[in-house]
Structure 1
Amino acid sequence: MTYASTLARDPFATYRQIDAVGRTATADGPALVQLLYKELVAALRAAAWACEKRKFAVKSERITRATAILFALEAGLDFEKGGQVSETLARLYGGARKTVINASLGHDPKPFRDSADMLDEIAQAWRTASAA
């Protein structure tokens, strides 16, 4: 019953959730990281849009998603194999999380856009490294 009522309220959100679950189920390590970055950047851009449009429920949902993804990316770091790169990424994810949480208290879309742009650059580096 819960699933049906959720579907009736927002079928697009339900589709995106099912789509994301399907893509993560078959993704290997690098592909999963790329997918997480894609979802993270999309969530941050949607939070910025929601700030501008004063869609506070959407903003809250997207911030929650972005924060959860940042935690997942940090939890997936291998500090033994990754060494200084893992430490740098951990600081970056922590800083981005702090920026997002601080920005969640206001209505300025800029911190969300800036974070999305920065993380999109890292995502591009992951795509380039994975293609090599």
Structure 2
Amino acid sequence: MAAMQGAGAYAKVGVESGVMSASSHQLIVMLFDGARTAMRAARIHMNEGHVAEKGASISKALDIVNNGLLAALDGERGGEVAGNLASLYEYIARRLLAANARNDVEALDEAERLLDDIASAWRDIEPQVAGT
């Protein structure tokens, strides 16, 4: 038990160190990764009938989408692109809510696919952001 707590603390320090040294672009990539991990966990819990755990995982994904990705948008500087992303993030959030309420794997799959598409595009611009 103590070893597990120690490993958890070590992992938390590693994540915190990564966040502290990450660029804003890398932080957004971390948010996408976290949302994907939460959605995959939700799918496993959904398939195994673990209702509380499924809800917690979907809540984590929703929090990342709403309070991370959506909140990070800059409507002034991002213009129409930021507006379109905001609409897409709001749609993804609705699909996550539907997945949770109805144990709808298809809604969860759609939310994950859409988020993966955005994440892929975001990763493609990384070399341009880094100046390479």
- TM-score tier (shorter): 0.7 to 0.9
Q: Indicate the SS of the match to 2:101.
A: coil
Question: Residues 3-82 of structure 1: matches in 2 within 5 Å?
Answer: 17-71=12-66, 72-82=68-78
Amino acid at match of 2:83: E
1:95 to 91, 94, 104: 91
Tell me if the contact between 1:44 and 1:62 (Cα under 8 Å) persists in the aligned partners.
Answer: yes
Query: Number of residues paired by the alignment?
Result: 127
Match status 1:110 vs 2:87: no
Moved more, 122-131 or 19-28: 19-28
Tell me if the contact between 2:92 and 2:114 (Cα under 8 Å) persists in the aligned partners.
Answer: no
TM-score, structure 1 length as denominator? 0.82
Moved more, 28-37 or 54-63: 54-63
Per-residue CA deviation, residues 68-121 of structure 1 (Å, 9 max, x unaligned), is 101111111111110001000100111111111122112222211221111111
Compute the RMSD of aligned alpha carbons.
Answer: 2.5
Moved more, 77-86 or 37-46: 37-46
Q: Indicate the SS of the match to 1:60.
A: helix
Unaligned runs of 5+ in 2: none
Amino acid at match of 1:22: S
Indicate how the Cα distance of structure 1 residues 84 and 99 shifts in structure 2: closer, same or farther if over 3 A, else same: same
Report which structure shows greater RCO (CA 8 Å, sep ≥6): 1
Tell me if the contact between 1:36 and 1:73 (Cα under 8 Å) persists in the aligned partners.
Answer: yes
Unaligned runs of 5+ in 1: 1-6
Tell me if the contact between 1:34 and 1:126 (Cα under 8 Å) persists in the aligned partners.
Answer: yes
| Percent pairwise identity | 28
TM-score, structure 2 length as denominator? 0.82
1:85 corresponds to which residue?
81
